Amino acid sequence: MRLIVDHVTHYRYDLPVRAVVQSHRLTPSLFDGQRVIRWKISVSDGQMGGGFRDGAGDWVQGWTVLGPVSGIKVHVEGEVETTDLTGMLRGHRETVPPLTYLHHTLPTRADMALAKLGEGLEDTTDSLGVAHELSRRVADAIHYRPGVTHNNTTAAEALALGEGVCQDHAHALIAVARHVGIPARYVSGYLHTDGDGTMQEAAHAWAELHVDGFGWVGFDPANRCCPDDRYIRLGSGLDAQDAAPIRGSARGLGEESLDVTVSVQTQQ
């Protein structure tokens, strides 16, 4: 499938700030399931800094905008050819050991309720079957509903609410997987929604679990599936903040607000 992405993020400051420094994970991952045909990232009045491929295989690019800055536009546009690998991350080069992703963070720490979701699966040798079952249990426990959680909601809080969005589903699956001894990480990217009942927005998130005999395999409990050719993978991390497509800081007293629009279409 050929997917065309148009992703615009507007940052606005109520008082001009002296400068803004950003770190982007906005370049599609290099693996067998996707091939970049064209890709462009622009930052209004921005100066491109250094870039590098980190140990997880993600391209990290630095940007600086010198002030006074009242607003910034980050524009991502491009086209990617995708292949359905049934969730498997084949051909992806990285150096971080999978066991690193057993480390808990605040958003992914398992409380008693999350631990209960993994009951009966701790000693099962069928790692792939366990991963699928964990994803199913998370999908049953947290119903998709926008607006009830926020960026800082933890997996435990989302489970207690019984509602949330893709970030909450991913955090909950990561928490339970790590609790039963399966390395798990957060993945950010895009999803083409084509009116077939898929609930998610185009900017999307899911989890990858490291399964014995298969390596990293993606699971999207929000849509009850593994990532296929409708998905574009950007980057990964221990949790949503660690894997954020855009991270940055502003030097000044201005309050920041942002507006995001994302479109993912198929080539006609």
User: Residue 221, preceding bond cis, omega within 30 degrees?
Assistant: no
Polymer length of the chain? 268
- The predicted model scores a pTM of 0.95
Q: What is the pLDDT of residues 122-173, one digit of tens each?
A: 767 789 999 999 999 999 999 999 999 999 999 999 999 999 999 999 999 9
List of the chain residues with pLDDT < 50: 197-199
**Domain positions in the chain:** 2-80+245-266, 84-237
**Nearest C-alpha neighbor of 220 from the set 98, 117, 131, 95:** 131
Query: Right CATH number for 84-237 from 3.10.180.10, 3.40.140.10, 3.40.190.10, 3.10.620.30?
Result: 3.10.620.30
Residues 6+ apart with CB under 8 A from 138: 117, 169, 172, 173, 176, 221
Cα 234 from Cα 188, distance rounded (Å): 6
Q: Is 2.60.40.2550 the CATH classification of the domain at 2-80+245-266?
A: no
The pLDDT assigned to 21 comes to: 97
